[in-house]
A and B are shown apart, each in its own frame.
Chain A
């Protein structure tokens, strides 16, 4: 057969070959059928009758490389061409023959006329001859009869001789093992012997024959039993035995058992391989004795199957299935075919037909095939189950495909057999199993990616050092985490989606066009709708929802095991799923798998609803957790303080600032993932109005009367009336999917906690006032986060009211005082800090932690020279040249050191004056020149932030001027002054001092060089010019940044130490400064 692929060498041999092939094609060579059966069954034989182009193609594709394939193709084309030319020559030859034939016929026509005449003559002669012969036969009649009789006797004698010679002949045949001849001879003689068995001589012969035939049958059986012979021998044996009236059933059994033993060997080979793969490493060298329990059939066979146990280790499934198909299935087919040939389809003579052999044989065959196939299937299934990895799906699919295809052959051979359907079931089960594995893989992937996200969330937190529950550094931490959050969300959802897509793609292999079972309706429908859609996609989405919900439940009581940011993230994820991702996934799935909805499937809407529910739950939980964190803070702050004996409030408590800070950071966090949402009243005007209502009229109405002891009833009445008209507030109510709603929820929870805690305490006079201050502070900052600011007002009113009720000596603080405290905490606090730092720096210990702080005598804070200097100082800063001039005039710059404190006082005073001027002049400014942030209506707040955006005197922009120049140049001047002081004190500047000066000068020069960059910063573009900027520029920058130089004057340092100390500090300060100026 292989010659078909090689180009033809010589013409005659090729022609013969073609001829023989043609012959074979038309079934002319029946004699070679038996021998060729084995070869011709192979569908990959291109010249065989069973050739299946598809299988052949597959095989080629599987086995050959691309180059070989190309070679193959050219070779095939060549062959086809040569076949074509052969055909043409044949046609030409035949045409020539046809022409010559017509000539011949024409010639014949002419000849026939002549022949007719001669024929007439011939017939006349013939009649004469007949007459003659009749006469002769008449004479010869007697002799003829005698001869006939003699010949009859002769044949009889010949027959008798045959009979008498029969035993000897049979013996001879037996010796020569020519069983077929012996049987033939015996069959011929048998009936005769039977007929004449009453004669003793014949009987003797018959008995002899019987004995011999017995012997022969024995031998045949022996041969049959030994089984080593080829299939052809075997079938011959069977045929002979059948002719010898051997019981067919027994033969069937024997045949089957023989076939079984061979197939058993195949199976064991497979099984051994199966066992081999798990233990390949440990016992590859060992002899692999299969345990007797597993293969009781023939231990001898297991040794023959040892070659299969080659230490190939874990063969892949394709190889395994291939081997199974090639060895087991093909030999099974062979057995079935020959069996059918032998027992079922054979031409039957009446005698055998009576015994109803085909049916019996058929039954036996079915049982046989079923048992063997079951074993084979169990092996295959075990092998498939071992295929756990989800890596290469195509291999499995191809293996299953081959498996399925091969079983189709059995269907053809054995139409009624359940084997193929079982095989299909295996395929379906394997597919289902595979889907389950994919689902599992997806789930683990999801978990892993969540862990990653969690780590990503935790990492910045760790650097800050504050756990999220304690809230320590939450603001800073979330600032670090914030840029990540939305990125994390997109990357997470992309990861998941990609993974899902890749899984779908690999699952899609199951339904590829060239896979035989994929087109079967029983597979495709179920697989696509139940398997992929329900089993994989729906389950995965359900899993996501479920696991998210678990986060709510598990973390609920046991504290913040889940970082709130993760909750937020997941909730957004679920919401995204609800809005788009689920439908996207399903369109993708439906497109890829052409799902036909025969069976009821989970509708997309149900899944969406589930996702939404999960998102809602997560968000609610997020609100709860964040609310809890804040309310814990508030609760601790209320519970741990002795409210009766507290001092008069001077400041907003730090806790409240933390609350506001945390709320702001939550606001930013949520804002990254959720939209803004709708507020009830969001114009800045209305907020101002309600604010003033709160601060003046309502406040007075609300609890002013309640402090007059005469009317206790009024309080209740008023508050009750008030409550009648206000809506009931559900504290832990579900939130909507937007930022405002989330923040509202959190603030509600926190404030309600505050309220309940306040009610449990008793307050002194100042306790109440402190609460008032705190509430006012919260009022100032919280309204902007919530949807309905009246809610905050109401709750805060309630808190203050409750505190007033719980107060022993309720004398509330003046509203204006509260406002001043809330707003002044910074304007007063900051200047004091500057002065404090300066005086600490000059003290010998120079530690911020020392207590009591080194208070400078008031006299030191004032120096008339400073006033003059500061006035000049700031203007001086316009140009360094002027300064140099001063130096040239002999102004002792070192005197700056003594003057630093008075200078700071003056600078602070100047910043106050400047901001006062700015505040007042802003009322004359046009509306468009006002900044957005600084117009709350609260004078102190406005004073602090600054109302006018860019105040100018003529063309001179005050803010732009103050932004960098006075501060930075002042800083340099102070540094220089300190340097001079050190020169005065110690004769020469220290290395540390020089370095400080040089580096900071470098920094300042850089900043001033690129001064235009400041125009795009928040300071210029957004903030008004108020106390915050004025103070920062005029006092904070020069006097706090110059601290290092000042420190060095008082505390001379060994050089190396200070360098190490300076390096990081300088870096830190400069980076802070960078932030300050650039952000």
Chain B
């Protein structure tokens, strides 16, 4: 198995939406949503066969409109949400809906993979997250650890928490919060924190990052001017509860401790254009992946601020507030933060990067021209972390 050769898959259409199938822990599976105004949009289900270094694809039709954002249920493999543009009578409206993938696709694909592309099946609409009253939906977030019953949608300047009932066929807004302020505020993106019993959400609008407490639906913290320009993406450190990564149009990736919001903990300036996406590795949080519109993908090793600076896996239970001090004591020969690799397989702006939910050493990136590249963490790094 040639370890470091990337696997490239080309879509016919331009695409922005990429997600890993969160509930699937056996197979390496990514979902890609296309953007096409003229043709029916599709969701490509990309299965990666790690053994043979091969890709299997299935195509589902998403005829509601072009897909801007996509996320999968953490509990049910078959359920996903999309944010799509609906154009009607010279108006463009961004809506969100919960869908179920047809159950047959999996079996069908194995028998005749060619047919599936020719005769794509259609997604089954479960319910609309009807937010038209609140404006365009920027993204939909699933509760990270939950049973797939709660979603948050960010619509213009509203944070809407909905409960999905009757096997996701009905969505009711249980609570909401609104961001007030001068001018027309609009959330660009957000992230649901997996810590604190999933009671916290971080959102980004313009140059600010805000934290919300879902119990009271009130703002907890606000990092004004987190980036010099627009904040494009956020991600929570899966192992350290107060740590947050953000990226934006100032070409920087910043790491924050939300308890000390005045200064970022760390700042990377490796990209030469806007950074559109940042992702922590789900289990080894020193591995941070960033994708940028300079067509590059950078995998960096942020040892100094990770939960396992030594390559040891620190049990999540052991994590406490004074974890840093403990770690400082442990660090005898501090490893340097470094860039592990820069991937230049893309020819166009990379708008989305995602780690696989099943294999922590595998990640996918998607550029605007519809090219999906699946890469692995270099073996040397992998062994250094593991051993």
**Which residues of chain A have a CB within 8 Å of any CB of chain B?**
556-559, 628, 644-645, 709, 712-713, 716, 719-720, 723-724, 728, 730-733, 752, 756, 759, 762, 764, 805-808
Instruction: Enumerate the 7 nearest inter-chain pairs by beta-carbon distance, A residue then B residue, closest first.
Output: A557-B228, A731-B273, A732-B272, A723-B347, A762-B92, A730-B272, A644-B90
Report the minimal beta-carbon distance from B167 to chain A, rounded to whole angstroms. 34
B37 at the A interface (CB under 8 A): yes
In the complex, the answer to whether B227 meets A557 with C-beta atoms within 8 Å is yes
In the complex, the answer to whether B39 meets A712 with C-beta atoms within 8 Å is yes
- State in angstroms the CA–CA spacing of A807 and B349 once bound together: 19
Report the minimal beta-carbon distance from B334 to chain A, rounded to whole angstroms. 24
Please, what's the 1-or-0 string for B51-88, where 1 marks a CB less than 8 Å from any CB in chain A? 00000000000000000000000000000000001010
In the complex, the answer to whether B349 meets A731 with C-beta atoms within 8 Å is no
Please, what's the 1-or-0 string for B88-129, where 1 marks a CB less than 8 Å from any CB in chain A? 001110000000000000000000000000000000000000
- State in angstroms the CA–CA spacing of A805 and B36 once bound together: 8
With A733-B272, A762-B37 known as contacts, the answer to whether A756 contacts B293 (CB < 8 A) is yes
Report the minimal beta-carbon distance from B206 to chain A, rounded to whole angstroms. 11
Query: Could you say which residues of chain B place their CB within 8 Å of the CB of A644?
Result: 87, 90-92
- State in angstroms the CA–CA spacing of A709 and B38 once bound together: 8
In the complex, the answer to whether A762 meets B85 with C-beta atoms within 8 Å is yes
Q: Which of A558, A723, A728, A762 contacts B225 (CB 8 A)?
A: A558
In the complex, the answer to whether B12 meets A807 with C-beta atoms within 8 Å is no
Q: Which of B90, B227, B347 contacts A645 (CB 8 A)?
A: B90
Report the minimal beta-carbon distance from B36 to chain A, rounded to whole angstroms. 7
- State in angstroms the CA–CA spacing of A39 and B368 once bound together: 100
Q: Which of A752, A762, A806 contacts B273 (CB 8 A)?
A: A752
Q: Which of B164-202 contact A (CB under 8 A)?
A: none
Please, what's the 1-or-0 string for B271-305, where 1 marks a CB less than 8 Å from any CB in chain A? 01110000000000000000001110000000000
In the complex, the answer to whether A557 meets B225 with C-beta atoms within 8 Å is yes
Report the minimal beta-carbon distance from A349 to chain B, rounded to whole angstroms. 75
Complex A-B: 15 CB contacts under 8 Å: A559-B228, A644-B90, A645-B91, A709-B39, A723-B348, A723-B369, A728-B295, A731-B272, A731-B294, A732-B272, A732-B273, A756-B274, A756-B349, A762-B92, A805-B14
Report the minimal beta-carbon distance from B15 to chain A, rounded to whole angstroms. 11
Query: Could you say which residues of chain B place their CB within 8 Å of the CB of A764?
Result: 90
In the complex, the answer to whether B12 meets A712 with C-beta atoms within 8 Å is yes
In the complex, the answer to whether A712 meets B38 with C-beta atoms within 8 Å is yes
Q: Which of B1-58 contact A (CB under 8 A)?
A: 12-14, 36-39
Q: Which of B14, B87, B92, B250 contacts A557 (CB 8 A)?
A: B250
B374 at the A interface (CB under 8 A): no
- State in angstroms the CA–CA spacing of A943 and B36 once bound together: 42
Query: Could you say which residues of chain B place their CB within 8 Å of the CB of A805?
Result: 14, 37
**Further contacts, 14 of them, CB under 8 A, given A558-B225, A644-B92, A805-B14:** A628-B229, A644-B90, A716-B12, A716-B369, A723-B347, A723-B348, A724-B347, A728-B295, A732-B251, A732-B294, A752-B273, A756-B349, A762-B37, A764-B90
B370 at the A interface (CB under 8 A): yes
Report the minimal beta-carbon distance from A704 to chain B, rounded to whole angstroms. 15
Query: Could you say which residues of chain B place their CB within 8 Å of the CB of A645?
Result: 90-91
Tally chain B residues at the interface, Cβ within 8 Å: 31
Query: Could you say which residues of chain A place their CB within 8 Å of the CB of B90?
Result: 644-645, 764
Report the minimal beta-carbon distance from A346 to chain B, rounded to whole angstroms. 70
Query: Could you say which residues of chain A place their CB within 8 Å of the CB of B370?
Result: 716
- State in angstroms the CA–CA spacing of A728 and B228 once bound together: 25
Report the minimal beta-carbon distance from B113 to chain A, rounded to whole angstroms. 19
In the complex, the answer to whether B13 meets A712 with C-beta atoms within 8 Å is yes
Report the minimal beta-carbon distance from A778 to chain B, rounded to whole angstroms. 19
Closest to B87 in A: A808
Closest to A805 in B: B14
Query: Could you say which residues of chain B place their CB within 8 Å of the CB of A752?
Result: 273, 293
Query: Could you say which residues of chain A place their CB within 8 Å of the CB of B295?
Result: 728
Closest to A728 in B: B295
Closest to B37 in A: A808
Report the minimal beta-carbon distance from A133 to chain B, rounded to whole angstroms. 118
Report the minimal beta-carbon distance from B356 to chain A, rounded to whole angstroms. 26
In the complex, the answer to whether A556 meets B228 with C-beta atoms within 8 Å is yes
Query: Could you say which residues of chain B place their CB within 8 Å of the CB of A728?
Result: 295, 344
Report the minimal beta-carbon distance from B124 to chain A, rounded to whole angstroms. 26
Query: Could you say which residues of chain B place their CB within 8 Å of the CB of A720?
Result: 347, 369
- State in angstroms the CA–CA spacing of A645 and B85 once bound together: 16
Report the minimal beta-carbon distance from A567 to chain B, rounded to whole angstroms. 15
Report the minimal beta-carbon distance from A518 to chain B, rounded to whole angstroms. 49
Query: Could you say which residues of chain B place their CB within 8 Å of the CB of A806?
Result: 37
Report the minimal beta-carbon distance from B253 to chain A, rounded to whole angstroms. 14
Closest to B295 in A: A728
Report the minimal beta-carbon distance from B205 to chain A, rounded to whole angstroms. 13
Report the minimal beta-carbon distance from A255 to chain B, rounded to whole angstroms. 64
Query: Could you say which residues of chain A place their CB within 8 Å of the CB of B348?
Result: 723
Please, what's the 1-or-0 string for B203-240, where 1 marks a CB less than 8 Å from any CB in chain A? 00000000000000000000001011100000000000
Q: Which of A558, A628, A712, A723 contacts B36 (CB 8 A)?
A: A712
Report the minimal beta-carbon distance from A706 to chain B, rounded to whole angstroms. 10
Closest to B184 in A: A640
Query: Could you say which residues of chain A place their CB within 8 Å of the CB of B87?
Result: 644, 762, 808
Closest to B227 in A: A557
Report the minimal beta-carbon distance from B279 to chain A, rounded to whole angstroms. 20
Among B225, B295, B347, B368: residue with most chain A CB under 10 A: B347
Query: Could you say which residues of chain A place their CB within 8 Å of the CB of B274?
Result: 756
Closest to A802 in B: B368
Among A558, A709, A808: residue with most chain B CB under 10 A: A808
Report the minimal beta-carbon distance from B107 to chain A, rounded to whole angstroms. 29
Q: Which of B12, B92, B349, B369 contacts A719 (CB 8 A)?
A: B369
Report the minimal beta-carbon distance from A1046 to chain B, rounded to whole angstroms. 44
- State in angstroms the CA–CA spacing of A395 and B328 once bound together: 54
- State in angstroms the CA–CA spacing of A844 and B225 once bound together: 52
Query: Could you say which residues of chain B place their CB within 8 Å of the CB of A807?
Result: 37
Closest to B207 in A: A557
Query: Could you say which residues of chain A place their CB within 8 Å of the CB of B12?
Result: 712-713, 716
Query: Could you say which residues of chain B place their CB within 8 Å of the CB of A724?
Result: 347
Report the minimal beta-carbon distance from A719 to chain B, rounded to whole angstroms. 7
In the complex, the answer to whether A730 meets B294 with C-beta atoms within 8 Å is yes
Q: Which of B346-362 contact A (CB under 8 A)?
A: 347-349
Closest to A756 in B: B293
Report the minimal beta-carbon distance from A94 to chain B, rounded to whole angstroms. 95
- State in angstroms the CA–CA spacing of A1077 and B2 once bound together: 74
- State in angstroms the CA–CA spacing of A712 and B85 once bound together: 20
In the complex, the answer to whether B368 meets A759 with C-beta atoms within 8 Å is yes
Query: Could you say which residues of chain A place their CB within 8 Å of the CB of B272?
Result: 730-733
Report the minimal beta-carbon distance from B95 to chain A, rounded to whole angstroms. 14
Query: Could you say which residues of chain A place their CB within 8 Å of the CB of B368?
Result: 759
Closest to A807 in B: B37
- State in angstroms the CA–CA spacing of A712 and B12 once bound together: 8
- State in angstroms the CA–CA spacing of A964 and B349 once bound together: 56
Query: Could you say which residues of chain A place their CB within 8 Å of the CB of B227?
Result: 557
Query: Could you say which residues of chain B place their CB within 8 Å of the CB of A756?
Result: 274, 293, 349
Query: Could you say which residues of chain B place their CB within 8 Å of the CB of A732?
Result: 251, 272-273, 294
Query: Could you say which residues of chain A place their CB within 8 Å of the CB of B344?
Result: 728
Closest to B347 in A: A723
- State in angstroms the CA–CA spacing of A716 and B225 once bound together: 38
- State in angstroms the CA–CA spacing of A202 and B347 once bound together: 129
Report the minimal beta-carbon distance from A733 to chain B, rounded to whole angstroms. 6
- State in angstroms the CA–CA spacing of A712 and B38 once bound together: 9
Query: Could you say which residues of chain A place their CB within 8 Å of the CB of B347?
Result: 720, 723-724
Report the minimal beta-carbon distance from A718 to chain B, rounded to whole angstroms. 11
Query: Could you say which residues of chain A place their CB within 8 Å of the CB of B251?
Result: 732
Query: Could you say which residues of chain B place their CB within 8 Å of the CB of A556?
Result: 228, 250
Query: Could you say which residues of chain B place their CB within 8 Å of the CB of A759?
Result: 349, 368
Query: Could you say which residues of chain A place their CB within 8 Å of the CB of B294?
Result: 730-732
Query: Could you say which residues of chain B place their CB within 8 Å of the CB of A723?
Result: 347-348, 369
- State in angstroms the CA–CA spacing of A762 and B85 once bound together: 9
Query: Could you say which residues of chain A place their CB within 8 Å of the CB of B349?
Result: 756, 759
Among B250, B251, B272: residue with most chain A CB under 10 A: B272
